[in-house]
Structure 1
Amino acid sequence: MKNKAVVLGANYYIGLSIIRCLGIHNIPVVAVDYSKKGTYGFHSKYLSEKLIGPDCKKDPEGLLSFLIDYAKKQEMPPVLFPTADGYAEFIDKYLPTLSKYYLINQTEQGLFTKVINKETLHSLAKEHNILVPETVYVNEVDFEKKVEENIKFPCLVKPTNSPEFVAHFRKKLFKVYSMEELKDAIKKSEDANLEVIIQRIIPGFDDHMYTFDAYLNQDSKVSHWMTCQKLRQFPINYGASVYTVQKHVPELYEIGGKFLEDIGFKGFAEIEFKKDADTGKFYMIEINARTTNLNSLLYKAGINMPYLAYSELTGQLPEDYAIKEDTNIAFWYGYEDLLAIKAYRKSKQLALGEILKTFNRPKAYAIWDVKDPMPAFAFLGNKFKRVFSKIGEKFNS
C-alpha cells in the first residue's frame, strides 16, 4: 500500500500538473477542492479520489478538520501538496498540527509565509545581500519625498500579500505615473484592508524576467534545479507566465541556490528574478513556495518536482540532477497567450514576426496532454458555457 498524495486545489492547471506528475508513477492521487464548478483537474484519469472540502480562505478551521479526518482513515500518512499561495499559507499556519497526520517538506513554521510576503521577503533578501527593487513603505517618514527622489515615476504599488490583492482587484499590482495616482492606489488598498509597498520599476521588457526553480532536500541543500526565461506573460508586463522557455543561466543558481540554502528552505521553490536592462544585474522579485505554472515545463525538461517531494518523504530522494544546457522547450498556456499577444500587438510592444518565431519549439502545454485529454475538454467546455451565457444575457437584456 503506497502513501497517498493529497493535492490541495484542482481548479487550475498547476494542480493538474501535480496530479499528472504523480499519477504517471502509479501513486494514488487525491484532489481536494471547494467546488466542482470549473474544476477541470477533477477530470484527470490519474486521480484516485475527488473530494469537496471547505474553502481554505473562508473556512480554514473547517478545512483543517476535514484533512485531519481524512488522514485518520488512511493506513499510511499522505503527502500534502499545495497548488497556490493560499494553500501554502494554510499549511504554514497549521503546520504543527498537519505534520502529525501528513508528510510535508517544510518543517519550520512561518518560513512559507515569510517568503511569500513581499515585505518580509525583502528584509530577508537584504540580510543575505540579494538585490531587490528599491522599496518605500507607506508608513515611512517623508515617504512622498523618498518616492520622488529614490523611486521616481512611473512606479509600482505592490501588495505584501499577493493572493488577497489579486482576489480583490483582479490584478497583481498598480502601476502609477504621478503622486496623485499613487495616493489613489494607496487609498484603494487601505480601503480594502490590504498592505502595499512602493517599488522602483527595474528596466527591461518581459523577456528580462527569469526563474530559478529548485528542489531542496531535508538538509536544505539544492538537489535538483533549472532556470527559465519568460517571453510573454498575462496580463502583459506584470502578470503570470504564458510562454516561457527553459534557458540555462548559471548565475541564478549562484544567487538563488545559496539564498534558499541559507534560509533553511526545504522542498520546491521558484525564485523570480528580473535582469536590469541597464546594468545586467539580477533583482529578486518574488518567491513561490509551492508548485508553479511552469511545472509541466520542468517535467518535460527532465525534473519531476512533485515526484521528488513524494520520493524523499516516503523513502529516498533520487540522485542530484540539474539541467545545465538549453533544451529549447517552452511552456505554453495557449488560451491566455492569445490574449497576451493581442495586448502586446495593440500596445506595439511586439511585432508579429517576433511572436511567430517563438513558436518553433517543442512545447510543454499548460492543460493539454494527449495521454490525459479530458481536463482540456472540460476546460474548453467551461469557456464555451461562459460565452453562450454572455450571449444569452445580451439577447435577453
Structure 2
Amino acid sequence: MKVKVGLRENSASIALAEVSGFSRENGTLGEMYEVISESDLSILLISDAAQAENKERIFEAMRPGSTLGLSHGFLLGYLKNIGEYFPSNINVIAVCPKGMGPSVRRLYEQGKEINGAGINSSFAIARDLNGKATDYALGWAIAIGSPTIFHTTLESEYKSDIFGERGILLGAIHGIVESLYRWFMSHAYSPEEAYVYSVESITGPISKIISQHGIVAVYESLEKTDRETFKKAYLAAYHPVMEILREIYDEVTSGNEIRSAIAASNRHKNYPLSKIDGTSMWQTGIQIRANRNSNRIPIHPVTAGIYIATMMAQVNLLKEKGHSYSEIANESIIEAVDSLNPYMHHKGIAFMVDNCSITARIGARKWAPRFDYILSQQTFNALDSHFSVDEYVFKEFLTDEIHQVLAVCSQLRPPIAISVTE
C-alpha cells in the first residue's frame, strides 16, 4: 500500500512532509486534488471550514468506487444544512480519534514498544458501495494504532463531538475554572490558592481518580464534611449547567452551531483569534506549574461537585438524546480525563483552548462565558446561601448506569497514560 500526502500548492507543510520522508520524487507527495484523483482511499484532514468551502472540488476529484475517509462528521452536518449529501458513487467512512492529532501520533509511537498503547476511536459508515466499507474503516483504525474502537453513525458522531467540545471537554471546563477562580478569590483565597483549588484540582487529582476508579470514587475519597459540601455544590450546579448544555445541543442539531463555526472562520481571516492566556489567572498558572508537586494537589469539594455535576448533566443529556453508551462515555468522560485534561494539566486550560482545532476553539470561546455567567449568577449564589437540596437528583448520580459503563471501559483502558512531554 502506498501512502501519499496531498497538500495545497505552496503549503507550509510541504517541508515538514519532506523531512518525514515524503517526496514528489518517490511518488508520496503531491498536490491535494491530484492525490485525491488517483487514490483508492482519500482521508480528508483539512479543517472543517475548508471541507465545507472545497467540498465540490473534492467530490469531483474522487474516482467512482473510491472511498472518502473523514476523521469527524462535520462535513455531513454542513451538507444537511444545505440540503445535500455525499456523491452516490463513492464509499464514505469515518474513523474519529478521541483526542488531538499529536496524541494519536505519540501514542502510536509508544505502541511500538508497549502492546495496547493507543487512543480510542469511533468509526462510522455513511455509504458502503461494495460491502467492504467496514473493513476499510477498521483497517484504518488499526493502522493509526487505535486499540479500542466503537461503532457509531456519522450523524451521531458529529452531534456528540461538536456538543462535547462546547461542553465538558473544552467550553464548560474553561467557564467552570474561570468562575471558580473568582469565587475563591472573593472568599479571601490568594491567587495561587484559587488557581490550585480550581484548575489544578480538576486537571490533576479529580481527573486521575475518574480515569482510574470512576466518577463516584471522587465523592467517596472525601471526608464526611467535604462530602456534604460536594453534594451541595453538585446540586447547586446541575440544573444551571444542564440549561446551557440543552441550548448547545439544540444549536448543534439544528445546524446553527455549524453555520456559526463557518461564519466565524470566515471572520477570522481578517480578525485572527487572539490568545486567552494573558490574564492574571493564567499567568499565575505558569508559576504554579513550574513549582508543582503533583502529590500535594488537593481536591476541593466545591470544585469537584461543580465539575462532576457538569459531566453528569452531559452524560444524561446524551443518554436522553439516544446516543450509545460507548459514545457517551468517550465524549463526556474518557476523552476528558484520559486525553484532554492531561494536556491541560501539563500546559494549562487556556493553552488547550488556544491550540485545539479551529471549530473547537470557536466553540469553547463562544460557550465558556455562558457557563461562567450562569455559575456566577445561580450556583455560587446558592452556595453562599441556604437552598433546598434535591435528594432525588443526587441519588440518581450515585446510582447512574454510567458507573457500570466506566467499569467495563476500564478493562479496555490502554496500559499507559497519554504522553504529554512536548
Q: Same fold (TM over 0.5)?
A: no
Greater share of residues in strand: 1
TM-score (norm 2): 0.28
Greater share of residues in helix: 2
- Structure with bigger RCO (C-alpha 8 Å, 6+ apart): 2
